[in-house]
Amino acid sequence: MTENLDTRRPDAPTIAGQYQPGEVEQRRYEQWVADGRFRASADSDKPPFTIVIPPPNVTGSLHMGHALDHTVQDALVRRKRMQGFEALWLPGMDHAGIATQNVVERQLAAQGLSRHDLGREKFVERVWQWKAESGGAILGQMRRLGDSVDWDRERFTMDEGLSRAVLTMFKKLYDDGLIYRANRIINWCPRCLTALSDIEVEHSDDDGELVSIRYSDDVVVATTRAETMLGDTAVAVHPDDERYRHLIGTEVELPLTGRRIPIVGDAHVDPAFGTGMVKVTPAHDPNDFEIGQRHDLPALTIMDERGVITAPGPFEGLDRFEARPAIVAALRAEGRIVAEKRPYVHAVGHCSRCRTTVEPRLSLQWFVNTSPLAKAAGDAVRDGRVAIEPADLAKRYFAWVDNMHDWCISRQLWWGHRIPVWYGPNGEVVCVGPDEQPPTGEGWHQDEDVLDTWFSSGLWPFSTLGWPEQTPELAKFYPTSVLVTGYDILFFWVARMMMFGLYAMDGKQPFDVIALHGMVRDEHGKKMSKSFGNVVDPLDWIDRYGADATRFTLARGANPGGDVPVSEDWCQGSRNFCNKLWNATRFALLNGAHTAGALPGAAELSTVDRWILSRLAQVTAEVDEQFEAYEFAKVCDLLYHFAWDDVCDWYVELSKPVLAAGGAAADTSRRVLGHVLDQLLRLLHPVIPFVTEELWTALTGGETVMTAAWPVADRARIDTGAEAEIATLQRVVTEVRRFRSDQGLRPTQRVAARLDGLAGAGVAAHEPLIRSLARLDAAGDDFQASATLAMPGEVSVALDTRGSIDVAAERARLTKDRAAAEKEAGQARAKLDNPAFVGKAPEPVVAKIRDRLAAAEADLTRIDAALEALPS
């Protein structure tokens, strides 16, 4: 009917017949940037709203996790701008010490060179050159996604200002006694040749072997790392273990070495594990190190930095994994192997960057004493200064900060912030601040190590705003408003920022809310992995379906703290949603919809107009509520169904006869339609910014929807009577349409019908609309009811389908469908009636069978009704 309703004014705006994201997105984004739409001013008198972007690695490219994270942040920021806040979304990148150094070292290796061939200074220059030429590709990809970040404030963790902040923080912690240097067990990567913090070690259950070794007739120990026995300096038992108490204080000969080592009593030993005896290797195990400290045991390092055995003897020079079977074979030859269990599945730590098995190693490193810092970070959440969304993830946070170990912050790299400590020829140690001159003279040299990347990124919420200088930006935008990030880096980054922010900013928290989302997974809930072959490149979806469709797909699955399943089918559905909005707005423009002038009062509106405005008011209120709760999936679901069902499917269709009739009622419908679309596009803009910008500016003539006021629910427009009336109309039309579909009637085929009970149901005035939407003609003199549909309430619809359908063929089709539905229901019932199935099958599987049964039974009810309605 649309083609017959072109009542637009000569000057009415137009849009293309189809939405082509590629023709809109780059043009709109470049215009936003050129117009300064993303800039935030510290001089503004508007209330501040601040998000600092979790800085992606300079080596990185946009993946689905980034796309989700950025979509959520952008939605929050765009909404706050529309609400009148001075909204700052600050972008930047992390220098990614290990990852970036690895990239450049691989390039050198391809030329037959190593970093040592260049030397430290030239190597660092080479990394900066790589960063300028190839690093930061993700920043351009962020533009493709539509990130409304303030590009004028872009930061890098190695830029001059942030480097100054790092030096200031190190000096402050050092002077306060919270940074120290000590020989302690750390996580060591034999490939990256650097220390790792606990949070840079990923544990997985790996196949290994558990070997029980007889040291003497009385001493048997079990280990998964037989090679470390070369560094044993004791055997430990529990002091209360009656089996071994008499051995405490005696010695035993360590096999293969000839050394004698003591037997000590230590409460750390679990008498129930293995034989109740443990070998103690203080230089190669963190628990053994603590035992060694308590009993003043020597710590023998028997491997070099690459995991090669250095202990003198037949195993010297072997890689640790070569030495392990060789040592077991030697022990077996001496008859010392009591038992071997393989495979023995146990947790093994791996470097999070290169997946090499991590080696515990005694090493001289720099540490942060986290105890007072972690306590402050826990207190800030407990006393309500910082809220974690969803709240049930707070226990994970507390489990970490309440049990935090001291943090190893030194890395044996050349790319990063070099530790600002100088050593003198006579053992002097000087920590140099950013405004101090390092000591000079013969024998003075700077520490060779650099700081853990997370040290600098831990300062991100305030260093990016100018700290340690007291800048207007720091005064305006700190504390930041919300931190949006995945729960997987709650410990990597969030806890670090909490500790440093509270410490450096006099107890002011770095953010008011921590909004955690889950991991993006495939449609089956499976983790995305290259090995699984299910990794999705968001840029591929943006190329094919548009940035808005990609963003809407991600946001529609984003429940607080929950993982986010996605599939290409869902992205196609999101593209169809954008097309639906485009077509509805195009229809509105073609038919003269506008936003000029005030809306009429309720008395001047039709029931249909009052209904859609009532629905708009309620949806607006619910969207606001869900935004404040970080329920992005619910926001999207509300707007999807309001836009698709209420506006596009129902209101547009209900308006067509009114617009065709012309007159004052049509003028009112044009104004209401324009208002509803105006408000809907504003509500959708934070999630799908490109298509809403294109449509809103065409509809309203406004400059940009980005600065349009965020809709406020007009609760005076809520009209429960109108909603109930239209709901009845919808049920009648829906039931007739369902019957027509079941009977195989063509959508355009008209059928004579008699409508009874409309007055009693309060919808008599809508009979013309019902007939128009359901394709029903009036009952003529020759009308003969061949089917009667009973509706909720008092309404019934009698239809004359004679000649419209092949009754015999339709009965045969429905009978066949009924048999299939009965078979499906029977199979589902059989499974649910089987106690073995219900008792043993996972609950999701049982629930799926229940859903199948419910769907089959619903089909049976529908088919029986259709058969009953057929003429005899």
Which of 360, 379, 404 delimits the end of a domain? 360
Asked whether residue 354 is assigned to any structural domain, the reply reads: yes
Residues 6+ apart with CB under 8 A from 193: 305, 306, 412
Region 426-453: mean pLDDT is: 95
Digit-coded pLDDT (tens) for 330-364: 999 999 999 998 888 888 999 887 889 999 999 99
Q: Beta strand pairing status for 201-214 and 194-196?
A: unpaired
Percentage with pLDDT > 70 across the chain? 98
Residue 656 has pLDDT above 90, yes or no: yes
- Structure confidence at residue 376 (pLDDT): 97
Do residue 769 and residue 699 come from a single domain?
Answer: no
Confidence of residue 82 (pLDDT cuts 50, 70, 90): very high
Residue 248 has pLDDT above 80, yes or no: yes
Asked whether residue 632 is assigned to any structural domain, the reply reads: yes
Structure tokens at 589: 């423009």
Do residue 616 and residue 686 come from a single domain?
Answer: yes
Do residue 677 and residue 620 come from a single domain?
Answer: yes
Q: Among 262-266, 556-560, 819-823, where is mean pLDDT lowest?
A: 556-560
Region 463-492: mean pLDDT is: 94
Residue 519 has pLDDT above 90, yes or no: no
Count Cβ atoms within 10 A of the Cβ of residue 391 and give its class: 0-12 exposed, 13-18 middle, 19 or more buried.
exposed
Nearest-CA neighbor of 790 among 870, 704, 727, 731?
A: 731
Which of 539, 557, 580 delimits the end of a domain? 539
Count Cβ atoms within 10 A of the Cβ of residue 170 and give its class: 0-12 exposed, 13-18 middle, 19 or more buried.
buried
How far is 155 from 2, CA to CA, in rounded Å?
52
Region 11-39: mean pLDDT is: 92
Which of 718, 750, 766 delimits the end of a domain? 718
Count Cβ atoms within 10 A of the Cβ of residue 9 and give its class: 0-12 exposed, 13-18 middle, 19 or more buried.
exposed
Q: Beta strand pairing status for 251-253 and 260-265?
A: antiparallel
Bridge partners (DSSP) listed for residue 755 = 797
E strands present in 392-473: 407-408, 410-411, 421-423, 429-431, 445-446, 450-451
Do residue 598 and residue 479 come from a single domain?
Answer: no
Residue 787 has pLDDT above 90, yes or no: no
Residue 538 has pLDDT above 50, yes or no: yes
What count of other Cβ atoms lies within 10 Å of the Cβ of residue 539? 17
Structure tokens at 711: 């809709």
Do residue 272 and residue 161 come from a single domain?
Answer: no
Asked whether residue 71 is assigned to any structural domain, the reply reads: yes
Do residue 714 and residue 734 come from a single domain?
Answer: no
Residue 263 has pLDDT above 80, yes or no: yes
- The whole-model pTM stands at 0.86
- Structure confidence at residue 6 (pLDDT): 42
791 φ/ψ sector (left φ>0, alpha ψ -120 to 50, else beta)? beta
Supply the CATH number for residue 666's domain.
1.10.730.10
- Structure confidence at residue 12 (pLDDT): 62
* Cβ pair 668, 662 in contact under 8 A: no
Asked whether residue 559 is assigned to any structural domain, the reply reads: no
Residue 169 has pLDDT above 90, yes or no: yes
* Cβ pair 170, 431 in contact under 8 A: yes
Which amino acid, one-letter code, is at 392? D
Q: For the chain, give me the number of helices (H) and strands (E)?
A: 28, 29
Confidence of residue 449 (pLDDT cuts 50, 70, 90): very high
Asked, as a colleague might, if the bond just before 434 is cis with ω within 30 of 0, I would say no
Count of residues making up the chain: 872
Residue 533 has pLDDT above 80, yes or no: no
Asked whether residue 72 is assigned to any structural domain, the reply reads: yes
- Per-position DSSP letters for 242-280, written without gaps between them: TTTGGGTT-EEEPTTT--EEEEEE-TTS-TTSTTSEEEE
- Structure confidence at residue 2 (pLDDT): 36
Q: Which residue ranges are tagged as binding site for ATP?
A: 530
Residues of 746-770 as b/e, b for ≥16 C-beta within 10 angstroms?
A: eeeeebbbebebbeebbbeebbebb
Do residue 524 and residue 596 come from a single domain?
Answer: no
Residue 10 has pLDDT above 60, yes or no: no
Range among 11-25, 251-265, 745-759 with highest mean pLDDT value: 251-265
What are the strands of the beta sheet with 220-223, ordered from one edge?
220-223, 201-214, 337-351
Supply the CATH number for residue 203's domain.
3.90.740.10
Q: Which residue ranges are tagged as binding site?
A: 530
Residues 6+ apart with CB under 8 A from 361: 185, 186, 187, 188, 195, 283, 284, 301, 303, 305
How far is 47 from 80, CA to CA, in rounded Å?
10
Residue 7 has pLDDT above 70, yes or no: no
Count Cβ atoms within 10 A of the Cβ of residue 122 and give its class: 0-12 exposed, 13-18 middle, 19 or more buried.
exposed
Region 668-672: mean pLDDT is: 96
Do residue 8 and residue 43 come from a single domain?
Answer: no
CA atoms within 13 A on the CB side of 772: 14
Digit-coded pLDDT (tens) for 796-818: 899 998 877 777 777 887 898 89
Asked whether residue 555 is assigned to any structural domain, the reply reads: no
Instruction: Residue 219: give the domain boundaries.
Output: 189-360
Asked whether residue 441 is assigned to any structural domain, the reply reads: no
Give me the residue label for tokens 């009953």: 868
How far is 781 from 514, CA to CA, in rounded Å?
71
Range among 202-206, 466-470, 783-787 with highest mean pLDDT value: 466-470
Asked whether residue 558 is assigned to any structural domain, the reply reads: no
Which amino acid, one-letter code, is at 393? L
Do residue 492 and residue 582 come from a single domain?
Answer: no
How far is 602 from 545, CA to CA, in rounded Å?
41
- Structure confidence at residue 8 (pLDDT): 45
- Structure confidence at residue 424 (pLDDT): 97
Do residue 796 and residue 711 come from a single domain?
Answer: no
What count of other Cβ atoms lies within 10 Å of the Cβ of residue 841? 15
Give the phi and the psi of residue 365 in degrees, each rounded to 5: -140, 170
Structure tokens at 851: 């859903």
Domain count within the chain = 4
Do residue 477 and residue 355 come from a single domain?
Answer: no
Do residue 157 and residue 195 come from a single domain?
Answer: no
